[in-house]
Amino acid sequence: MRDSAGAGEPPRSGEEEGDDEEVPRFGVSSICGRRREMEDAVAIHPSFIGAGGGGGIHYFAVFDGHGCSHVRTAATTCMERMHVIMREEFELETLAGKGSNSDDSLKCVIDRSFARVDGEVIDGNEASDESIHCRCERRRPKCESVGSTAVVALLLRDKIFVANCGDSRAVLCRDGRSVALSSDHKPDRSDEMNRIEAAGGRVIYWQGARVLGVLAMSRAIGDSYLKPFVSSIPEVTVTERTESDELLILASDGLWDVVSNDTACAVARMCLSGGAFPPAGTDETCGYASMMLTQLALARGSVDNASVVVVDLGRRSRQSHDDNVVVSEK
């Protein structure tokens, strides 16, 4: 078991050097858990478009790879390339004079970015070492069963854009209550099942609902052998920010399989609201909150990798740590 911000990195928190006060505090924690390999990847890029003040866009993402032991290929490609491609698409949209700050324009940027990353994963773009073999006896770039979920949050001054593809999830804590900003793409979700069957595929129940009896999610980046039944097109939600917004949680299903949205928000809110260590409102609080959530997932029996990002939206004064916070499942 290891606790990290990715592959071999320590838990992270705080604001990156050189960012101004508009950059939100954040924390990251990932655990391999009871899995043999680490398949998750996390990417955070404050002010990756524009400056931190006013017009800046902050990027937070969690990717959960799957397949054979090639899994790091898909998740790592997403981690390394998604924000780069998204920035390129944003610049192209701006040059085309299409109003890159409008909701529709940003949605187009997101859709094109996911499509490009999907293509790179399928093509095995820039494999680090062609000679590496895994236990399935295939070279890294050639495995068609490699894929990854992707949940990406773009934090603007007045809005939150969330793009989701798969069963990782984004949850907002607003005025002490959880608000789901994404909906898991499961094959037995009625609209997803209809889409799969309309394309000529089937949902087969084998240890749960699976596309063609194989994949337990209906959308993902990669998985070329299951296309068009498994789609890489993300669902995008746009949420207006309010003064009641407290924090944002992005996490892989290693957390959500065993912890509800309400409980995750209650735990993170408790960590950010006070206590002797770490003190409320400091950089360490988000890192502590993310670590507490991964440890809670492990304690509740999660058998999967669990990666958690906690973002302090900081739009209103924190309540006193003397407030009673009750952690419960609905």
Number of structural domains the chain divides into = 1
pLDDT along the chain (330 residues), means of 10: 39 48 86 88 93 72 82 84 96 76 90 97 61 48 79 96 98 97 97 97 95 96 95 98 96 97 96 72 84 96 96 62 39
Residue by residue, what is the 3-state secondary structure of the chain? Answer: CCEECCCCCCCEECCCCCCCCCCCEEEEEEECCCCCCCCEEEEEEEEEECCCCCCCEEEEEEEEEECCCCHHHHHHHHHHHHHHHHHHHHHHHHHCCCCCCCHHHHHHHHHHHHHHHHHHHHHCCCCCCCCCECCCCCEHHHCCCCEEEEEEEEECCCEEEEEEECCCEEEEEECCEEEECCCCCCCCCHHHHHHHHHCCCCEEECCCEEECCCECCCECEECHHHCCCCECCCEEEEEECCCCEEEEEEECHHHHCCCCHHHHHHHHHHHHHCCCCCCCCCCHHHHHHHHHHHHHHHHCCCCCCEEEEEEECCCCCCCCCCCCCCCCCC
Neighbouring-strand partners of residue 61: 43, 152
In a domain, 19, yes or no: yes
What pLDDT does 329 receive?
Answer: 40
Can you give the CATH number for the domain in which 145 is found?
Answer: 3.60.40.10
In a domain, 329, yes or no: no
In a domain, 27, yes or no: yes
The pTM score is 0.85
In a domain, 8, yes or no: yes
Q: Give CA–CA dist 152/289, Å, rounded.
A: 20
In a domain, 227, yes or no: no
Nearest to 236 by CA among 172, 171, 184, 181: 181
Residue 35's domain spans which residues? Answer: 3-184+234-312
Residue 117 corresponds to which tokens in the numbers above?
């990353």
Q: Does residue 176 sit in helix, strand or coil?
A: coil
Q: Give CA–CA dist 150/163, Å, rounded.
A: 8
Q: Give CA–CA dist 140/212, Å, rounded.
A: 24
In a domain, 211, yes or no: no
Residue 46 main-chain phi, psi, to 5 deg: -60, 140
Residues 152-195 have pLDDT tens digits of 999 999 999 999 999 999 999 999 999 999 999 999 999 999 99
In a domain, 212, yes or no: no
In a domain, 14, yes or no: yes
Residues 98-157 have pLDDT tens digits of 655 689 999 999 999 999 999 999 987 444 444 444 555 544 445 677 899 999 999 999
